[in-house]
Amino acid sequence: MSKQELVILGQDVADGCCPALRTAPLDEGKAADLAKAFKALGDPVRLRLLSMIASRAGGEVCVCDLTPAFELSQPTVSHHLKLLKQAGLIDSERRGTWVYYRLLPATTDKLAAVLTRPGAPAAERVGAAS
């Protein structure tokens, strides 16, 4: 893994093991980049959409399967999906009339790495979030 990849993942380049949030304040650029993704996840509809996409067998889902799950208009659901895509959390591919969405795990992994306490057991990390 290159030094650039470590910085992108929120790692401290000096030792490669600790999330930057726990070792030093985030610089303005990194904070702005992370804030876009966290802001996108700050809405319950977008969080549910991301969850539906991420948990889908096969790794992708058609917008036609997402829209009925919400009491929102199709343009509103599309707007929420657009914001998730702009934040780098999902990607899409048009196939004929329909658009299929898939999770971009590199972004969610980066968000998790910034918030995870180094060396914490997985069960402890999950329990702390509850």
pLDDT at 58: 87
Q: Taking 50 as the threshold, does the pLDDT of residue 32 lie above it?
A: yes
Q: How far separated are the first and last CA of the chain, in Å rounded?
A: 32
pLDDT at 98: 93
Least confident of 1-10, 57-66, 115-124: 1-10
Q: Taking 50 as the threshold, does the pLDDT of residue 121 lie above it?
A: yes
Q: Which of 3-12, 19-28, 90-99 has the highest mean pLDDT?
A: 90-99
What percent of the chain is modeled with pLDDT above 70? 72
pLDDT at 126: 52
- Enter the pTM of the model: 0.73
Here the tokens at position 123 are 């069960």
Q: What string of DSSP letters covers 96-123?
A: TTEEEEEE-HHHHHHHHHHHSPTT--HH
pLDDT category at 59 given cuts 50, 70, 90 is confident
| Alpha carbon 50 to chain centroid, angstroms | 8
Q: Taking 90 as the threshold, does the pLDDT of residue 129 lie above it?
A: no
pLDDT at 4: 39
